[in-house]
Chains A and B, each alone.
Chain A
Amino acid sequence: MSRRTRFAVLAAVAGPGLLAGLSDDDPAGITTYSSLGAEYGYRLLWVLLLSTIALALFHDLGARMGIVTGQGLAGLIRETYGVRRGGAALGLLIVANTGTTCAEFAGIAAGFELFGISRYVSVPFALVGVSYLVLRGTFHRVERVLLAVSAVFVTYILSGILAHPDWSAALRGTLVPSLPTSRAAVLLVTATVGTTLAPWGLSFIQSYAADKHLTVNDLRYERVDVIVGSVLTGVIGFFVVIACAATLHRDGISIHDASDAALALKPLAGSMASALFAVGLIGAAVLAASILPLSTAYSVGEFAGRETALNDGPREAPLFYGTYATIAIVSAGIVLIPGAPLIPILILSQVLNAVLLVPLLGFMYGIARNRDVMGEHAAGRIAGGAYLVGIAAIVVCIAALAVLSLT
């Protein structure tokens, strides 16, 4: 096969890894990365490197499971582990995803408010936009639009460059691990891992790869897609951290969320860097607000065994589109309620994401090793060992988070 043909095949296969990876850089992720840079400068960049490796490892596993079995994660869990465990995983996923979608719409609201646009305009506008795209678009149109939205992440790279970071310190921070022995530092490290590898991302990449009808012949191209998506996710996080490290950390400014960071950048790195940061925040929120309800709709449809294909219309797949619309409308509605308890909702959803991640990874590991399900593509001992090491590291992070949160 010529190089040009291989590239054409790669271009056709690409999508699941890019979208699942980049959508992890949502407002919650940008806030975490901003805090990482603002509080600890370049010192904790190595955490991003490790979380990027974990992201590539498990997204590759998810995509492979979707391609080999033609099924999403919720359906496979039900089929392999029974309706009780599958139902419990689905229930937690729905609640956590609804809370996280609230966070995405809150991110859209905050991003537009930086430009003086009310949330009562921006949130309904975004809701109608993402719903119209998914309800009316074909698979390829939805994919193209979402990939185009992803291009907005380049603004973080520009923003980081405009902040004139100390490149040698950034490189040292990426390659030489050091961990400040404070509770806040451990919490931030754990949050960084947690925000990079999310349950909804894992279920999305598997379902999306299955919906794209990729075949086992596409596996190696899909691996490239996943690695590129994960590396881009890490690179964007890297530039967010260094933008904040070069400005906010230098001047000792603390932030609470990503919109704080965008505002704080204005006097330190110029209005262009600030505006780019805000545009990136909006784009990230819109991308994640499109993908989270989609991930939930895939999971519900697969658990029930109903059709979950973007190429089908609402009449052919009412459960799929009904779930999508419900999650999107409820989440946007909560954000628009004056005085709604957004902070507790966001914290609850983050806790549920953390609680759900470990059993979900355990299910994925079990399915990956199951020859009845994966056939000749079942994970061997070396790959299985790598997954176990990754799961163990995440368990340690979540245990640390639990202990620190309770003490």
Chain B
Amino acid sequence: MSRRSVRGSDVNLLGLSLLLGRHVRLLDGRRVGRVLEVTAVMSVPHPRLDRVGIGTRRAVRSVCAFGDLVESSSSSALGDGDLVLRTSDALSEATPDWAEGALRLNRDVLDCQIIDLAGKRVARVCEVFIERAGRDSFVVGVEVGAAGVLRRLGLQRIAGLIASEVVDWDELSLTKRQARTLQLADASSAVQRLEPTQLATVLAHVPIEHAIEILHTVVPTAAAGALSAAHTSLGTRLMHALPHRSAATFVDEMHADDAAPLLRALPSHDRDAVLNSVRAAHAETLRGLINNDESAHGSLEQVTGRGRFAGVKRGHAKIPQIRARATRTKVR
């Protein structure tokens, strides 16, 4: 994980922890509650802040758009003091599913564990940095290390003596792990840099659910390469365990000759669900291969007669075969 080291005074970004717990007032000065949660929607390259959950104690009672909150003394920047709603009708009642599908920054990111892809714990998020860009605000990074913890404990002086460590958001990816809803995985860890054959070896040595997490965390081309390079039995098990949409994303990146045997092993309704989400032309090629003569394994090389390993039976010359397959993975 590459980290930027900055001194406390250099941190010129709004921290989520400075928003949480602050009172929110209506224009007439009436308090409606405290900021309990801020949600963001996933956008490229950074999640865009969406809604603010306001309430008392731990229950969110009402919701407003993030952009509708302004500083009580000045509308230019968010700082200390109460927050004010820009308009009186900006507040709506919180339904049970008010944050459905969104990233909840307080619950899911702040104080969350950062792990690398090998599952090793690296640090905890002690601050989420938000940057305003025009009318929108974005999550641009997180702070880890002792300085952020000390600052949130009210020990600013000591925190100022320690360099803050900030990790850019685009170096992190969200992953579902254990019972916790979301955790952050360090995208620059060693696993991210593995060759497809090496990644396939890692997948073969971890529990299937952890392998699925890894496939979701690496870029789709790397996941596709690993699935192509993996032994067919492992690839099939992974394909079984993957959600249809993810499977389709990886199949889209795979050579048809590598994807067909894995899809062939799926139950027909699962196979159809995956193929329906794959690019139409690619799906057509795959359907042709799957429906081809089972004894010939429907190899694209055999169909077209251009195969580099034409005449080499599966299971023979295993390592060169795997490597060759890996190099055929398409990169867009």
Contacts and interface: CB of A to CB of B under 8 A. Distances in A.
A79 B149 contact: no
B144 interface: yes
B107 interface: yes
A257 B94 CA distance: 59
Contacts of B179: 68-70, 373-375, 377
A83 B126 contact: yes
B1 interface: no
Interface stretch (A282-290, A299-307, A355-363): A299-307
A361 B191 CA distance: 39
A84 B152 contact: yes
Interface string A316-329: 10000000000000
A82 B111 contact: yes
Interface residues of B, number: 22
B180 interface: yes
Contacts of A374: 179
Contacts of B111: 78-79, 82-83, 86
A70 B114 CA distance: 13
Contact of B123 (A68, A69, A83, A305): A305
A70 B113 CA distance: 11
Interface string A278-314: 0000000000000000000000010111111000000
A83 B121 contact: no
Classify the interface of chain B: helix, strand, loop or mixed.
mixed
Contact of B121 (A305, A372, A377): A305
Interface in A47-104: 68-71, 75, 78-79, 82-84, 86-87
Contact of A79 (B144, B153, B180): B180
A67 to B, nearest CB: 9
Given A372-B181, A377-B179, A84 B153 contact: yes
B162 interface: no
B152 A305 contact: no
B164 to A, nearest CB: 15
Given A83-B152, A305-B113, A75 B124 contact: yes
B120 interface: yes
Contacts of B180: 69, 71, 79, 373
A347 to B, nearest CB: 28
A79 B121 contact: no
B87 interface: no
A69 B153 contact: no
Nearest to A81: B111
Given A68-B179, A79-B180, A306 B121 contact: yes
B268 interface: no
Contacts of A316: 120
B122 interface: yes
19 contacts: A68-B178, A68-B179, A69-B180, A79-B111, A79-B113, A79-B180, A82-B111, A83-B111, A84-B152, A87-B153, A303-B124, A304-B123, A304-B124, A305-B124, A305-B144, A306-B121, A316-B120, A373-B180, A375-B179
Given A69-B178, A304-B124, 7 more contacts: A68-B179, A71-B113, A79-B113, A305-B114, A305-B124, A316-B120, A373-B180
